[in-house]
Amino acid sequence: MSATPFHRIAAASLLLTGFLAAACSHEGPPAPPEKTLPVLNEIGEFRLTDQTGREFGRDDLLGRTWVATFFFSSCPSVCPAIMNELRRVDAAFADDDRLGILGITVDPANDTPERLAAWAEEEGFPRDRWVFLTGPEPALKEVAEESFLLAFRGLAHPTRLVLVDARGRIRGYYEGLDDRESVDELIADLPAVLDEGEPRP
């Protein structure tokens, strides 16, 4: 039996409906998956002293996301360049008190708490946001190598920035010297890590 005009119109309508449904359901290529930062290490227990003379340890890291570096206050060239990159990170999250900046000296003989406090004030680093630590050299070496997984060689210090989440876990390493793109990557990675932790009470 040959198809009637009605049957032909009905079939064409069904085909058109299916085509339109398929077209409407196609919304372009899928969005790329969000970047997941691995857990690279966990910060172990330590006891150092901050620029106010207060003891500072692992528990003081918890509840806040940190960007950490190793430095010394009398460094003439490398450390100022790294600190300028940290200023850029700080400025990008100026209104977010979940972020802290952590500097650990590699020159404890000269970087006493008093010296660090005076230097931080000269540089304009607010102490509620920027924490600078000193202590006995063996303790500094241990925290650098066992927790941050960075070689401790005195004044020949690492230039990397370390992203530490609010649970005290390392989530990324970024070059802090002469590598603006790496610091841009850190700035891009920070929001996801900030959102993982709870705001400080």
Cα first-last separation, the chain: 80
Per-residue pLDDT of the chain (201 residues; tens, 9 = 90+): 444 544 444 444 444 444 334 443 445 555 445 678 999 999 999 999 999 999 999 999 999 999 999 999 999 989 999 999 999 999 999 999 999 999 999 999 999 999 999 999 999 999 899 999 999 999 999 999 999 999 988 787 889 999 999 999 999 999 998 889 999 999 999 999 999 976 454
List, in order of start, the domains of the chain with CATH numbers.
Answer: 41-196 (3.40.30.10)
Residue environment code for 86-96, b if the CB has 16+ CB neighbours within 10 A, otherwise e: beebbebbeee
Asked if residue 39 lies in contact with residue 175, where contact means CB atoms within 8 angstroms, the answer is: no
Task: Sheet with 169-175: list strands edge to edge.
Answer: 41-42, 169-175, 160-164, 65-71, 99-105, 130-134, 47-50, 55-57
